[in-house]
Structure 1
Amino acid sequence: MFGFSKKTNLIERTETEYPLQDVKEPNMFRNLFPYNEPPKIAFNHRLVPINMPDEIWITDTTFRDGQQSREPYTTEQIVKIFDYLHHLGGPKGIVRQSEFFLYGKKDRDAVYKCMEKGYQFPEITSWIRASTKDFQLVKEIGLEETGILVSCSDYHIFDKLKMTRKQALEHYISIIKECIEAGIKPRCHLEDITRADFYGFVVPFVRDLMLLMEETGMPIKIRACDTMGYGISFPGAVLPRSVSGIIYGLNHHARVPSELIEWHGHNDFYRAVQNSSTAWLYGSSSVNCSLFGIGERTGNTPLEAMIFEYAQLRGTLDGMNTRIITEIAEYFKKEIGYEIPPRTPFVGDEFNVTRAGIHADGILKNEEIYNIFDTELLLNRPIKVAITNTSGISGVAHWINTYYNLTGENALDKKHALVEKVKEWVDLEYESGRVTAITDKELSIVVNEYKEKLGFKF
């Protein structure tokens, strides 16, 4: 069947049939996933069109996937972080949803306390076991949506569930019908989609879900879960690893509207951020993230990273308060005791700290030369210089100006007598065998001593 597309203004094929392939033996794609070697990236050079949705947003899994990889947060910590997410997402709710466990009393207490806030965004959703009892729990609490695990690769269907594809599909459909009958919107987590037979199982299964949605009038979300981080963003990569192919296939062949598609990525191969951005570009309205990428194994897509990906792709922050990111990082470090690696982009203690003297010289002249953007304005994190044996006299000057907030006419240049004296002290330290960076406390003591000797005030 063919029809006219208002989106592309072209006549296109509107219906494609992909029947379930109920194979007797599982397809493990051993040509791509040999297990005794690194996985392979293969290409068929088939390209799909970029299809950026009208609206894109971020969903949060800090309290679900994020709690599977660390000690649980306290109820008070969850409520505080939820407050931060609300303020970070801004009035347009770019951080659209946050999902919670409901298993324990602590988790349910946190949900109730977060609900009492009355925030429109992020909307509180849940993740539960696929059972009638748990559906009723979601309804009793007053949540409108829940995630349901529907593993879709043969690794899971055959080896974990001990089912055939047909049995798995029928089992999943029956569970989702129970969810709908309980008045709950289902969010179907297609676990391990990047190792699944996309046209043999995923598309027929999801197409059945879309027909169920038409029949019941209940929205059914599809979360494409790159559970093992195998997703590939390269154009022309083959399925099941192609992110663009997965999103295009869900949207075009399974007929899932963009607003009901969500990407959930893991970072096993350092691809979480680029894969999430690719999902947006090719038709997924939503990407699922956790703060600082905390999650199972190597973690999820860092939420703070996608804030800046959003701004770069859309040309606006749309009211998001990025300075909150620094507050969240400080809260995690000081109150929760979570150690953020110092060079982590946007949130690490040293993400905008330079040690190179030639860089410091450039920063002294114009900080734009070596700073990614105005980090003081957007993150409340002024660019800094760490003093080592390679920092040079420009680094010392910049450190003094930053530490003592000397700007404009009051700023010291590298020829100032105070700067020269401090640089002499730094050189002597390293000539005497020092190998570590000089701390702010040490430098402030030295600067204050030379200030008095030189009769200099600031």
Structure 2
Amino acid sequence: MPDRVRIFDTTLRDGEQTPGVSLTVEEKVEIAMKLDEFGVDTIEAGFPVASEGEFEAVKMIASEELEAEICGLARCVKGDIDAAIDADVDCVHVFIATSDIHLKYKLEMSREEALERAVEGVEYASDHGVTVEFSAEDATRTDWDYLLEVYKATVEAGADRVNVPDTVGVMTPPEMYRLTAEVVDAVNVPVSVHCHNDFGMAVANSLAAVEAGAEQVHVTVNGIGERAGNASLEQVVMALKALYDIELGVRTEMLVELSRLVERLTGVVVPPNTPIVGENAFAHESGIHSHGVIKKAETYEPIRPEDVGHKRRIVLGKHAGRHAIKKKLEEMRIEVTEEQLDEIVRRVKELGDKGKRVTEDDLEAIARDVVGEVPESEAAVKLEEIAVMTGNKFTPTASVRVYLDGEEHEAASTGVGPVDAAIRALRKAIEELGIDVELKEYRLEAITGGTDALAEVTVRLEDENGNVATARGAAEDIVMASVKAFVRGVNRLACRRGD
């Protein structure tokens, strides 16, 4: 295996061939500058002959005087090579298909003609003083004896590197290893690989090639590219660094930043379960996993999130454990008793069982709801039961059953809506406490999006003596959140009065 592997990034060329992606000149320059800051060895800036805009983008990137080698793609055609050279690139990546299926149906030429064209293209580019990388397109479906003949001839013609493209992603790692090893043995220049992800093995095949002696890997940010994409820069880089301990010369802490930039400019969304840079790459929900990570991150993390510019997240849901929830509450600086923690854990799991993802905002609302409760022994009002009926042909009606200082009381009322009806019924039911409560303020907030959002209601109540109490209630049901807030506020007023 090589001591150092070059990273050849083709996000701006093969990556832009992702269906639906088209970058402006300014966007391509922005990505190129970020790739250079990250530290890739080569930036394949585009296919200069493809269009006027493509030529302009490649030329502008080449003019930025970046540290990375700037490369332009070209067929083994003089016009293509001239366009790349006129764009002032450092390297010309010339290619021609070599598989029988491409020769017969696409190029309509013989093996001998393709070999001659390859040699001519490499010689022409080399004569202009640029670095030349040669690719035998669809190499992995090419007859191996003929493939090796092509590589040897192009190296003799002046190729500085040869590339082995798995153009339609049909290789398996053992076969990629074997083919790469044969190419490495056959030529005396660095061997590169370009793997596509049609069967999900682009990264694995790239690593197998490195094991066989390849000194350069073609990659794209977020693995974008034709069809199912290319080998992912993030995964290849971190596998080489963390698993193979190979020198790369890149700033891995910029990986997430680079990924987000390409995601934003291309519009190709990174799935949350994407390795290294996905939203869930360092997220933990399971109570066992969360507990382990809190105690020692390495228990469930093969690399540190900071090493790739990511952050660890403890996700709350039905699998969450006490340790994770307690840790989150400590981060929020919310102090709870063991009894309150038990109730918070119960409510979090209850929400998770309903298929809801519990966010930090949800947890904070639940915690405030639990912590804000008046101890049961001091509560003057205890809600036992509430029923609400509403509809387009019914006047909203609510009935409640409460305990006032241990005695059961019932009341019913109508209102302009279900919340109004419920609050009116409660006010009737607590009349015997001798507290005349007026609702001075009512505020409703949906903590998270969706129709199943956790609702948090804040009320401000005032009694006849001018005492004011603010209370909150949180529940998935808006009526229940409102009722809990109201009852809590009444209990606070009762405590202040000494009732």
TM range (shorter): 0.7 to 0.9
Query: How far did 1:333 drift?
Result: 4.2
| TM-score, normalisation: structure 2 | 0.68
Matched, 1:202 2:134: no
Normalised by the length of structure 1, the TM-score is 0.74
Q: 2:187 is matched by which residue type in structure 1?
A: R
The answer to whether the Cα contact below 8 Å between 1:135 and 1:182 also exists between their aligned partners in 2 is: no
In the TM superposition, residue 268 of structure 1 has moved relative to its aligned partner by 1.5
Partner of 1:88 in structure 2?
A: 38
Match of 1:223 in 2: 163
* Contact 2:44 2:73 (8 Å CA) reproduced: no
Alpha-carbon distance in structure 2 between the residues aligned to 1:204 and 1:317: 32
Seen in structure 2, the aligned counterparts of structure 1 residues 401 and 190 have a Cα distance that, compared at 3 Å, is farther
Question: In structure 2, what is the equivalent of residue 164 of structure 1?
Answer: 110
- 2:323 is matched with 394
Q: Which residue of 1 aligns with 2:27?
A: 77
Deviation at 1:131, TM superposition (A): 2.4
Deviation of 1:104 after TM superposition, in Å, equals 2.5
Q: Letter of the 2:156 partner, please give it.
A: L
Are residue 256 (structure 1) and residue 221 (structure 2) matched?
no
Q: Contact (CA 8 Å) 1:85, 1:95: kept in 2 or not?
A: no
Query: 1:59-138 to 2 correspondence within 5 Å?
Result: 59-70=8-19, 71-89=21-39, 94-102=40-48, 103-121=50-68, 123-138=69-84
The answer to whether the Cα contact below 8 Å between 2:351 and 2:358 also exists between their aligned partners in 1 is no
Alignment partners' CA distance in 1, 2:340 and 2:6: 50
Q: 1:132 to 1:229 in 2, by over 3 A?
A: same
Instruction: Deviation per CA, 1:387-442: give whole Å up to 9, x if none.
Output: 2222232332244356x4x7xxx9x89x74553342132244357xx212123332
Structure 1 stretch displaced more, 159-168 or 336-345: 159-168
1:160-216 Cα offsets, whole Å, 9 max, x none, are 2222212221232233333334444432211111111111x1112222222223xxx
Asked whether the 8 Å contact 1:388–1:437 carries over to 2, the reply is yes
RMSD between aligned alpha carbons? 2.7
Instruction: Report what 2:287 is aligned to.
Output: 357
Alignment of 1:180-329 (within 5 A): 180-199=126-145, 201-213=146-158, 219-234=159-174, 242-252=175-185, 254-257=186-189, 259=190, 261-312=191-242, 315=245, 319-329=249-259
Shift of 1:85: 1.2
Q: Which residue of 2 aligns with 1:22?
A: none
Kindly state the Cα deviation for residue 316 of structure 1 after the two structures are TM-superposed: 6.1
Q: Is the alpha carbon distance of 1:223 and 1:401 closer, same or farther for their aligned partners in structure 2, counting shifts above 3 Å?
A: farther
Matches within 5 A, 1:5-84: 52-70=1-19, 71-84=21-34
Question: Is this contact kept in 1: 2:255–2:309, CA < 8 A?
Answer: no
- SS of 2:75's equivalent in the other structure is coil
Residue type at the aligned position of 1:251: V
C-alpha contact (below 8 Å) 1:88/1:95 kept by paired residues: no
Contact 2:220 2:233 in 1 (8 A): yes
Q: Say if 1:428 and 1:60 are closer, same or farther in 2 by CA, change over 3 A.
A: closer
Structure 1 residues 387 and 417: alpha-carbon distance in aligned structure 2, compared to 1, 3 A threshold: same
Deviations 1:89-116 (A, max 9, x none): 2xxxx53443422122332333233234
1:346-370 CA-to-partner distances (Å, cap 9, x unmatched) read 1111112122222222223222212
Name the structure 2 match of 1:175: 121
Distance change >3 Å, CA 417–CA 85, structure 1 → 2: farther
Change (3 A) 1:248 1:380: closer
Relative to structure 1, the CA distance from residue 88 to residue 435 in structure 2 (aligned partners, 3 Å threshold; closer, same or farther) is: same
Q: What secondary structure, in the 3-state scheme, does the structure 1 residue paired with 2:61 have? A: helix
Find the aligned partners of 1:302 and 1:280 in 2 and give their Cα distance. Answer: 15
* 1:438 equivalent in structure 2: 358
Instruction: Supply the AA of the counterpart residue of 1:192.
Output: D
Corresponding residue number in structure 2 for 1:30: none
Higher relative contact order (CA 8 A, sep 6+): 1
Q: Does 1:426 find its partner at 2:348?
A: yes
Partner secondary structure for residue 146 of structure 1: strand
The CA distance in 1 between the partners of 2:266 and 2:168, in whole Å, is 28
Q: Which one-letter code corresponds to 2:162 in the other structure?
A: I
- Structure having the higher strand fraction is 2
Q: Which has the larger radius of gyration?
A: 2
Report how many aligned residue pairs link the two structures: 373
